[in-house]
């Protein structure tokens, strides 16, 4: 097989008319050849850090959509399913991914559970990490979210890091806002990447201290604008990633969109493509071709180097996307789950209080971080209730692994004027998380999730809408297009109920993520992510 086009040689910063010969999945020759074809041929895009589970798709379905955008590989941390099902969940992701022609590269989840301040469905200790790292399908130790454990030399954390070094596998980082001597110690422990930088200055310090920095643009968390100006000088040590991408967004674009945005800022296209295509392969030692003779034929044909719209995608020489159609077939798989709580009553969401002031989580558009604000309480019949007028809404996290009393907090900026939204996608332990205008609406939404043993939903006075997620309570068993369309409908319903957030469900899913400051809610209570301690809802 031969491909002709404008060949993009990233390493040598040149583009030439040429022809590529492919035999048995490998590139056997690349030669200059005159022709009249204007399409460009370049290495495939790689998402350098993503949780496939956040697409609410199994890996095989994720691949079907991703190849449409020229993505040929991912560096994937399966810690979402691991927090529900442990090592069994990781093995499910690996095996499902192997059923399709796409290059998934999974890591060993380092933080299961993410903290001791929440209830997860499984534990992966250092012995479990040892077992996973021995597997050649595990390419790295996934993000070390327990940065306090690194800074204070926690025994289990240090054992996991030592094992990754023993097996000569990279160690991913997660160090939001960590600077100075703390980030120096974190890096010196052997941690080599970070995708959590808030600011240009934070990214620059980490780069100067030897870290690889990932520009993240997911469905909720976005740091492209904050970090992209670092790329011209530091392109050899930067990569692009999604971290978390919901299915409706994946229908539209992937890493190709980040390339287009960077080039639109007049950045050198070769530097942009170095970050998008080359650096992940070299950093993680991936078995992904880079458009060299002898490489696997993992390449894409794009219309131009402005929008990077894919015309064709090849993986190991196999055409997997062609002129609008994904050629990857859906596959069968088993349903695994861990969902053991019973339906709740409205009284379970009552919070008896007398304090005039309460601590409130302030959700921020496009950010995983939150603020802590102090607000006036609204009490009816001794019960703390939502204040719709001031957009201070009741929120709950419900343990889905056993019957426990729901934890209660209040949150600002969801904007709901009616009903409630809920999800069993609640990073990282994936308990049920909900926010609503009344205890009745919250209870209705939570019970809809429990009834289906996982899902995301919206309820109003007259309507119920749910996407069931029967795989671990966080992943659909449907095809990517169906889930993407249903998710868009559910997102629209949440906005009809009043939500002003760009991605209300993605934002909701992170409100139980205790490892990101400052105020979050676990199934055990309100948590200060700055002090890493529980705190009180009432301010007395």
Q: Give the model confidence (pLDDT) of 61-120 as tens digits.
A: 999 999 999 999 999 999 999 999 999 999 999 999 999 999 999 999 999 998 889 999
Q: Does the pLDDT of residue 220 top 80, yes or no?
A: no
> Taking Cα atoms as reference points, which of 164, 172, 181 lies closest to residue 145?
172
Task: Taking the CA atoms of 251, 501, 115 and 525 in sequence, report the sign of the dihedral they define.
Answer: negative
Looking up tokens 């690349």 gives 30
The token pair that represents 20 in the structure block: 């590529």
Residue 368 has a pLDDT of 84
Asked if 19 and 31 touch (Cβ cutoff 8 Å), the reply is: yes
Residue 148 has a pLDDT of 87
| Chain mean position to CA 491 | 18
- Is residue 438 very low, low, confident or very high in pLDDT (cuts 50, 70, 90)? very high
DSSP string, 51-65: -GGGGTS-HHHHHHH
Pairing between strand 407-412 and 432-436? unpaired
Distance of alpha carbon 236 from alpha carbon 238, whole angstroms: 6
Asked if 383 and 350 touch (Cβ cutoff 8 Å), the reply is: yes
Question: Hey, is 45 helix, strand or coil?
Answer: strand
Residue 135 burial class via C-beta count within 10 angstroms: exposed 0-12, middle 13-18, buried 19 and up:
middle
Which helix (H) or strand (E) covers residue 430, if one does? Answer: none
Pairing between strand 357-363 and 325-326? unpaired
Residue 146 has a pLDDT of 87
CB atoms within 10 A of CB 115: 21
Q: What is the pLDDT of residues 290-337, one digit of tens each?
A: 999 999 999 999 999 999 999 999 999 999 999 899 999 999 999 999
**How large a percentage of the chain has pLDDT more than 90?**
94
Looking up tokens 């102090």 gives 374
Pairing between strand 71-76 and 45-50? parallel
């Amino acid at each position: 097989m031969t491909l002709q086009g404008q060949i993009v040689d990233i390493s040598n910063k040149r583009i030439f008319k040429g022809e590529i010969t492919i035999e048995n999945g490998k590139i056997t020759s690349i030669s200059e050849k005159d022709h009249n074809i204007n399409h460009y041929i370049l290495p495939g895009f790689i998402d350098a850090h993503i949780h496939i589970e956040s697409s609410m798709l199994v890996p095989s379905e994720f691949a079907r959509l991703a190849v449409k955008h020229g993505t040929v590989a991912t560096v994937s941390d399966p810690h979402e399913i691991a927090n529900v099902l442990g090592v069994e969940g990781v093995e499910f992701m690996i095996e499902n991914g192997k059923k399709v022609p796409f290059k998934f590269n999974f890591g060993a989840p380092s933080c299961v559970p993410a903290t001791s301040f929440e209830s997860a469905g499984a534990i992966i200790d250092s012995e479990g990490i040892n077992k996973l790292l021995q597997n050649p399908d595990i390419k790295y130790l996934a993000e070390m979210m327990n940065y306090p454990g690194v800074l204070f030399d926690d025994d289990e954390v240090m054992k996991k890091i030592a094992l990754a070094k023993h097996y000569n596998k990279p160690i991913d980082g997660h160090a939001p806002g960590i600077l100075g001597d703390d980030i120096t110690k974190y890096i010196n422990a052997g941690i080599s990447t970070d995708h959590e930088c808030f600011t240009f200055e934070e990214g620059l310090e980490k780069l100067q201290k030897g870290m690889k920095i990932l520009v993240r643009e997911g469905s909720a968390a976005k740091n492209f604008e904050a970090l992209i100006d670092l790329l011209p000088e530091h392109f050899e040590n930067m990569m692009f990633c999604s971290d978390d991408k919901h299915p409706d967004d994946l229908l539209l674009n992937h890493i190709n969109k980040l390339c287009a945005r960077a080039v639109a800022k007049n950045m050198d296209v070769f530097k942009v493509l170095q970050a998008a295509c080359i650096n992940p392969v070299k950093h993680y030692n991936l078995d992904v071709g880079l458009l060299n003779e002898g490489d696997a034929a993992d390449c894409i044909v794009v219309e131009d180097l402005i929008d990077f719209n894919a015309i064709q995608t090849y993986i190991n020489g196999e055409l997997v996307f062609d002129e609008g159609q994904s050629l990857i077939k859906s596959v069968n798989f088993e349903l695994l789950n861990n969902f053991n709580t019973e339906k709740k009553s409205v009284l379970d969401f009552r919070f008896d209080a007398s304090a005039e002031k309460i601590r409130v989580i302030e959700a921020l558009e496009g950010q995983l971080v939150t603020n802590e604000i102090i607000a006036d309480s609204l009490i009816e019949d001794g019960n703390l209730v939502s204040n719709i007028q001031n957009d201070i809404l009741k929120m709950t996290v419900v343990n889905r692994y056993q019957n426990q009393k729901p934890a209660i907090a209040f949150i600002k900026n969801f904007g709901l004027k009616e009903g409630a939204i809920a999800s069993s996608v609640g990073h990282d332990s994936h308990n049920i998380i909900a926010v609503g205008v009344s205890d009745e609406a919250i209870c209705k939404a939570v019970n809809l999730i429990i009834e289906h043993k996982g899902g995301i939903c919206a309820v109003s006075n007259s309507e119920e809408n749910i996407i069931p997620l029967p795989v671990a309570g966080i992943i659909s068993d449907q095809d990517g297009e169906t889930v993407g369309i249903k998710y868009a409908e559910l997102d629209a319903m949440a906005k009809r109920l009043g939500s002003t957030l760009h991605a209300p469900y993605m934002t909701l899913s992170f409100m139980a993520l205790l490892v990101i400051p400052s105020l979050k809610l676990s199934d055990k209570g309100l948590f200060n992510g700055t002090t890493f301690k529980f705190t009180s809802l009432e301010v007395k």
